Structures are given as structure tokens and as C-alpha cells.
Amino acid sequence: MNTFISKIKIAALLCGISGFSVMALAGEMKDTGTGGGGQNKIEIKDFAFNPQTITVKSGAKITWINRDEEPHTVVSVGKKFQRSPGLDTDQEFSIIAGAPGTYEYFCSVHPKMTGKIVVQK
């Protein structure tokens, strides 16, 4: 088994990832599956979310794209939106911004990687 596939399997086990479909929690934020589009993109590169803080309007689509060779996840602090699957290089994960507020998130594989979404009306 090659090393890259092994890392993905380990990351998936650590994250408790069981698939690519994600459901919204409590109507706060909603997953749109994989795919891009829109201007609210967050690039995952050099073990950081860039931009680290993004401000969007409620209802806006937010997309993360992993540009690292290592797998990463997007996990909401306080479970305001469901976690992403493990994202390999160039894979994307999107949600629709819910109610106004501040939503913090991190990578469960690399917990020092953090970010913030500020949702406005």
C-alpha cells in the first residue's frame, strides 16, 4: 500500500469519517457536498487556512480547497456545521452560511490549523 493512501486511511480513522455526504446540524450551516463556485473560497495551504477569517452574508456559499499534499479536514467548534470528509490534494468542501454569528473551525488532523467565519445578515 502506498504511503499517501495509508495517510488518508489514518486521517479518516482519526476523524471518524465514514463517507462524503454531510448533513446540516440545527439549521445553522448547511453542507452542499463537494464542488466549488462562488467567491468565498478558503485555500488550505502550508498547513493554514487562507484567509484565516472570512466575512460572508447569510446564505452565501463557502468553499475550502486543499492545496497541500497532506489530507485536511474542516471541523466546526461547537458542531455548528458538520465536519468535512478528509480532503486530499485539490479536493473541495462547501457549506452554505446559516444564521448570523461567528463560527470557528479547525483541522482535526492538525488542530493548530484554525479559522473563523463571520456571518452577517
Residue 12: CATH number of its domain: 2.60.40.420
The whole-number average pLDDT for the span 7-15 is 46
Domain that holds residue 16: 3-120
Ramachandran region, residue 59 (left: φ > 0; alpha: ψ -120 to 50; beta: rest): left
Encode pLDDT of 16-70 as tens digits: 433 333 333 333 445 444 444 458 999 999 999 999 999 999 999 999 999 999 9
How many Cα atoms occupy the beta-carbon half-sphere of 12 within 13 Å?
Answer: 13
Which residues, 6 or more positions from 18, have their beta carbon under 8 angstroms from its beta carbon? none
Mean pLDDT of all residues in the chain? 79
Distance of alpha carbon 65 from alpha carbon 31, whole angstroms: 14
How many domains in the chain? 1
pTM: 0.71
In this structure, what C-alpha cell is assigned to residue 107?
A: 483541522
